[in-house]
Homo-oligomer: A and B are copies of this chain.
Amino acid sequence: MDTSSEKVMDLKTAVARFVPDGAHISIGGFTCNRNPMAAVYEIIRQRKTGLHLYAHSNGQGVDELVGAGCVARVEIAYAGTGRFAPTCIRFRKAVENGTIAVEDYSNYQMTLRFLAGAMGVPFLPTRSALGTDIIRRWGFSEALRRSNPRLPNEKLVVMDNPFGGWAETDRVVLVPAIRPDVTLLHVQKAGRDGTARIEGLTFADVEQAKAARHVIVTCEDLADAGELRAHPHLNQLPGILLDAVVHVPHGAYPTACYRYYDYDPAFLNDYRTAATDDERYTRYLRDWIFEPSDHREQHARIPEGRLAAIQADPHTGYAKGLKR
């Protein structure tokens, strides 16, 4: 958080300042929608390593961070990008090769963990996954948990209802709070003061931002704060929560941004092809991420007509009839 009224900076500065090696981070969006991809690519470009990543179903951004070798550990519910990658390919390789440590939760459990962090409580209760291996099996060893103060000692705690059978409930599972060092989001509109507005589904972006010590937001439109403050109930994040506002049009590409553009099926299909082969993936990283010095240079490499094809229709918020 930051109570000052001027948060605008460039992406290089924001990532360099708030995403050190080994940072505990979370990214917004869901599968192929509103991932903060420009920020993800900048993290990769700055060759960050040893990141601890918290995800529910954050999809494409997760696979690219893992694929580029930035991630040491991930706590996650779902690593997929819908039909484009039922299981994220670089994530799958990394787990099968044992190059990253994984802890499995469910989507609601991860959402509640961010919410607990946002609320400032150590845990929240749910009835999700009682009787399953999500509770029985730990991906992080007890030794790792006890040696690392950034991890709770228990993955989950099952507890009898202290209010007897109140609310027809005998037992709950408590999920531990998450406090990321930084959460990175891409939103439709933000003001210089940090006031941020998301249109359409918010996924768990709001909980992820409020749980974090620092928040970096990239936005399609750098809006006038006065315009955003004329309808404060449409703003999900008050300015004080943000540390950095970065104006990055198409900052979610190749994932979608509701009412602005759709996901790019051609890119995501090409990505799948590249991801299945290590050599091709190395070329992909070089050509698409490392060679371009920034978002602008990177997007200059998008083939002619691609962005026009995914332009959102104003009524539906997506590209109607897009070839998928």
Contact = CB atoms under 8 A, between A and B. Distances in A.
Interface of A: 116-117, 119-127, 152-154, 157, 159, 161-164, 166-167, 169, 172, 174, 176-177, 179, 198-202, 232-234
Contact of A124 (B124, B177, B198): B124
B121 A122 contact: no
Given A233-B199, A233-B201, A154 B159 contact: no
Contact of A121 (B126, B177, B179): B126
Given A122-B166, A167-B176, 14 more contacts: A119-B126, A121-B124, A122-B161, A122-B163, A122-B169, A122-B172, A123-B162, A123-B163, A125-B125, A154-B162, A159-B162, A166-B176, A166-B177, A199-B233
A121 B153 contact: no
Contacts of A232: 200
Contact of A123 (B125, B179, B201): B125
Contacts of A121: 124-127, 167, 169, 172
Contact of A176 (B116, B159, B163): B163
Contacts of A119: 126
A166 B201 CA distance: 31
A122 B172 CA distance: 9
A162 to B, nearest CB: 5
B167 A163 contact: no
A223 B200 CA distance: 20
Contacts of A154: 162-163
Given A121-B127, A122-B169, A169-B122, A152 B157 contact: no
B157 A162 contact: yes
Contacts of A164: 152-153
A161 B176 CA distance: 10
A122 B167 contact: yes
8 contacts: A120-B167, A121-B127, A123-B162, A152-B164, A153-B166, A163-B176, A167-B177, A234-B234
Given A125-B121, A179-B167, A201-B233, A174 B153 contact: no
B167 A157 contact: no
A115 to B, nearest CB: 10
B169 A163 contact: no
Contacts of A167: 116-117, 120-122, 176-177, 179
A176 B122 CA distance: 17
Nearest to A165: B122
